[in-house]
C-alpha cells in the first residue's frame, strides 16, 4: 500500500485539492484509494460527504482522523486491501505534520508561484526532512500569463528542492469538481485540468513504483496513461 502525505505550512497552497483530485483519479485508474483528513477544518471530509450523496461516484472514501490514530487506521486500511492512502494535513500543526509525514512513503508539497509561498517552502521542506521521507514540490495554481512558473521553478531549484515535472494551472474546474464531491478527472474528463492532473498522478505512481514497487497485484490492472 502506498501512502502519500500532502504537507505545507501555507494554508490555501492546495493540499486538500491535491488529496481529493489525486484520490478520485487513482480510483479511476483502478487503485483502491482512501483519503485521511487530518485537518480539523474538514474540507476533505465534507467533499467525501458530498461524494457519498452523489450516487454516481464510488471509492476515494474520506476518513476524518486525529493524528494519534493514524498508525492504527493505516494498518486497518492495508488489511482491507487499500492500495493508496492519501493524507491531507493542516497547515500549522508542526509536530502533527511531522507525524503524518513519517507515516508516508512520499510527500507532496503544493506551492503557489507567489513569493509568500516560496518563502514558506523551507519550513514545509523541513517537515519532510525531519520525517526523513522523500518529497517533491508541486507548483499549483499557475496563471495562464506571465513568467511566474519559470521564476518559481528557478527559485525552488536554487533552494535545492525537487520539483514535480507537472505543474497544475489555476483553473476553475478544480473548485467546480469539488462541489459534487468529484475529482476533476471525473467532473471534466478530457479537460486541460484533467489531463495535467492525470499526468501528475502518473508521475507520482512512477516515483512510488521506482522506490517501493507496486502496491499489490491489483495495480497490474491499472490502466496505463495514454
Q: How far is the CB of 209 from ligand ADP (least distance, A)?
A: 25
- Chosen residue from 36, 168, 177, 200 binding ligand ADP by CB under 6 A: 168
The region of 35-43, 70-78, 162-170, 178-186 touching Mg ion under the rule CB under 5 A is 35-43
- Chosen residue from 15, 21, 51, 133 binding Mg ion by CB under 5 A: 15
The one of Mg ion, ligand ADP, none whose footprint includes residue 181, by CB under 5 to 8 A per kind, is: none
Q: How far is the CB of 41 from Mg ion (least distance, A)?
A: 6
For the chain, give the longest Cα–Cα distance. Answer: 48
Q: How far is the CB of 179 from ligand ADP (least distance, A)?
A: 10
Contact flag: residue 16 with Mg ion (CB under 5 A) = yes
The region of 16-24, 27-35, 92-100, 103-111 touching Mg ion under the rule CB under 5 A is 16-24
Contact flag: residue 9 with ligand ADP (CB under 6 A) = no
Contact flag: residue 43 with ligand ADP (CB under 6 A) = yes
The region of 10-18, 23-31, 146-154, 217-225 touching ligand ADP under the rule CB under 6 A is 10-18
The region of 11-19, 26-34, 47-55, 129-137 touching ligand ADP under the rule CB under 6 A is 11-19
HEC string for the chain: CEEEEECCCCCCCCHHHHHHHHHHHHHHCCCCEEEEECCCCCHHHHHHHHHHHCCCCCCCEEEECCHHHHHHHHHHHHHCCCCEEEEECCCCCHHHHHHHHHHCCEEEEEECCCHHHHHCHHHHHHHHHHHCCCEEEEECCECCCCCHHHHHHHHHHHCCCCECCCCCECCHHHHHHHCCCCCHHHHCCCCHHHHHHHHHHHHHHHHHHHHHCCCCHHHHHCCCCC
The binding site for Mg ion (CB under 5 A) comprises: 15-16, 43
Amino acid at each position: 500500500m502506498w501512502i502519500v502525505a500532502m504537507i505545507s505550512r501555507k494554508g490555501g497552497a492546495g493540499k486538500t485539492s491535491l488529496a481529493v483530485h489525486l484520490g478520485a483519479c487513482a480510483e479511476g485508474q483502478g487503485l483502491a484509494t482512501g483519503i485521511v483528513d487530518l485537518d480539523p477544518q474538514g474540507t476533505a471530509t465534507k467533499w467525501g460527504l458530498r461524494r457519498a450523496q452523489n450516487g454516481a461516484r464510488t471509492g476515494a472514501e474520506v476518513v476524518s482522523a486525529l493524528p494519534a490514530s493514524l498508525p492504527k487506521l493505516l494498518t486497518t486500511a492495508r488489511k482491507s486491501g487499500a492500495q493508496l492512502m492519501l493524507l491531507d494535513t493542516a497547515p500549522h500543526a508542526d509536530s502533527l505534520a511531522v507525524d503524518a509525514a513519517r507515516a508516508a512513503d512520499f510527500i507532496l508539497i503544493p506551492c503557489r508561484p507567489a513569493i509568500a509561498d516560496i518563502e514558506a517552502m523551507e519550513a514545509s521542506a523541513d517537515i519532510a526532512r525531519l520525517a526523513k521521507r522523500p518529497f517533491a514540490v508541486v507548483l499549483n495554481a499557475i496563471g495562464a500569463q506571465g513568467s511566474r512558473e519559470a521564476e518559481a521553478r528557478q527559485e525552488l531549484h536554487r533552494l535545492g528542492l525537487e520539483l514535480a515535472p507537472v505543474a497544475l494551472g489555476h483553473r476553475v474546474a478544480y473548485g467546480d469538481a469539488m462541489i459534487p464531491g468529484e475529482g476533476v478527472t471525473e467532473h471534466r474528463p478530457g479537460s486541460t485540468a484533467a489531463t495535467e492532473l492525470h499526468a501528475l498522478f502518473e508521475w507520482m505512481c512512477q516515483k512510488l513504483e521506482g522506490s517501493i514497487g507496486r502496491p499489490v497485484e491489483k495495480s497490474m490492472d491499472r490502466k496505463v496513461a495514454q
